[in-house]
Amino acid sequence: MSIFHQPVMARTCVDLLNLRAGGVYVDATLGGGGHALAMYQKEPGIKLYGFDQDAEAIAEAAKTLQNYNATLIQRNFRDLRTQLAYNKVKSIDGILFDLGVSSHQLDMGERGFSFDKDAPLDMRMNRSQKLTAAEIVNDYPESELKRIFQEYGEEHAAGRIAKAIECARTENKIVSTKALAQIIESVVGVGTKASLKTKVRIFQALRICVNDELNALSASLIDAINLLKPGGRIVVLSYHSLEDRIVKQTFKLATRDCICPPAIINCVCDHKSTLKLINKSPLSADAEEITSNVRSRSAKLRAAEKKKGEK
Ligand SMILES: C[S@@+](CC[C@H](N)C(=O)[O-])C[C@H]1O[C@@H](n2cnc3c(N)ncnc32)[C@H](O)[C@@H]1O
């Protein structure tokens, strides 16, 4: 498999999509096209629309899928509905989301996603976007940094790290991943498991904020469910609890016939369930895959099906 990115739980994802010849499918997060290729290998007669906001991912996926009938769209998946409409696609038979960053994005030092490699504080998946991690770290108020680290990193030392950043940036602009990592270490120490985890959480929080990941996910899950044909499937792989919570709650809401608050005894919401869950609890990678692909360790896979009789 390509070094660009090793797809996680590929066989399970493809099986859950229930592919059928002639069906229209979406890979919302193409990356290197590994999952998309697995879809074509299982059912060559599908039509696939693939999204990624990263030009390098689109270029790699174009190579991977060159022999297949795929339309690649370099856009944020929050534009799913409008981009499919532009391609005259009104409904789909299945959609896959494989969230987060690819190994390629992490490995390319200059993209600034990883504290393992010294690089400019960038973290943009879409490199034509203006907002970078450097802008957040240097220009956002201390209180806002604390909120970002708390909300998107679930980090206990959020306040102390935000304060340390505020102090450091009055001396010099913080422009590199290494400089930021050192500021975090000045608060939580160096070389311990706990300090490593804090760096992971702070970098994750900044990445989520730069790419507005959670808002894009919430909006596009709802659009994806609406676009599904009856019997169509949605499959989502997430890698941290914030993503998984959004997927779980969105699916749960769509499976309920009433979403009135518990205090209301007679339903007034008129909400009708449109989805049924395929798996009640999220699926995980097996031990063999976790050994061969460490990234699969944190994967949680949820899948649901559009109810028959729904438009
Ligand atoms: C985990 S990788 C996907 C890997 C892919 N499944 C494969 O087999 O190679 C996630 C990809 O989704 C893209 N991505 C993340 N959020 C996105 C969004 N909101 N819109 C479009 N692409 C996004 C990233 O740029 C990255 O290439």
Map out the domains of the chain with their CATH numbers: 10-104+213-306 (3.40.50.150), 130-210 (1.10.150.170)
d(Cα 5, Cα 269) in Å, to the nearest integer?
Answer: 44
Q: What share of the chain is helix, strand, coil (3-state, %, to 5)?
A: 50, 15, 40
* In the predicted structure, residue 207 carries a pLDDT above the cut 60: yes
Atom 27 in ligand 1: which residue has the minimum CA distance? 31
Q: Which helix (H) or strand (E) holds 183?
A: helix 177-188
Looking at residues 67-86, what average pLDDT do you find? 97
Looking at residues 151-163, what average pLDDT do you find? 97
DSSP string, 10-54: HHHHHHHHT--TT-EEEES--TTSHHHHHHHHH-TT-EEEEE-S-
Start-to-end Cα distance in the chain: 38
Distance 166 CA to ligand 1 centre (A): 32
d(Cα 306, Cα 288) in Å, to the nearest integer?
Answer: 32
Atom of ligand 1 at shortest distance to CA of 237? 1
* In the predicted structure, residue 258 carries a pLDDT above the cut 90: no
d(Cα 241, Cα 299) in Å, to the nearest integer?
Answer: 10
Ranking 9-18, 36-45, 102-111, 238-247 by mean pLDDT, the lowest is 102-111
- Cβ atoms of 303 and 235 within 8 Å: the answer is yes
Distance 297 CA to ligand 1 centre (A): 18
Atom 3 in ligand 1: which residue has the minimum CA distance? 31
Atom of ligand 1 at shortest distance to CA of 37? 8
Distance 101 CA to ligand 1 centre (A): 6
For 39-164, where are the E strands, in sequence order?
47-51, 70-73, 92-98
Looking at residues 196-208, what average pLDDT do you find? 97
Atom of ligand 1 at shortest distance to CA of 30? 5
Among 1, 25, 26, 29, name the best residue to mutate to test ligand 1's pocket (greatest count of ligand atoms within 8 A of Cβ).
Answer: 29
- Cβ atoms of 113 and 200 within 8 Å: the answer is no
List the Cα angle 74/285/13 in 5-degree steps. 45
* In the predicted structure, residue 263 carries a pLDDT above the cut 90: no
Find the residues whose C-beta lies inside 6 A of ligand 1.
5, 7, 29, 31-35, 51-54, 57, 76-78, 98, 100-102, 125, 216
Looking at residues 155-184, what average pLDDT do you find? 97
96 Cβ partners below 8 Å, 6+ apart?
13, 17, 25, 26, 27, 28, 29, 35, 39, 235, 236, 237
Q: Which helix (H) or strand (E) holds 305?
A: strand 300-306
Looking at residues 140-169, what average pLDDT do you find? 98
Ranking 68-82, 125-139, 260-274 by mean pLDDT, the lowest is 260-274
Confidence of residue 268 (pLDDT cuts 50, 70, 90): confident
- Cβ atoms of 39 and 65 within 8 Å: the answer is no
List the Cα angle 63/67/70 in 5-degree steps. 80
Per-residue pLDDT reduced to its tens digit, 10-69: 999 999 999 999 999 999 999 999 999 999 999 999 999 999 999 999 999 999 999 998
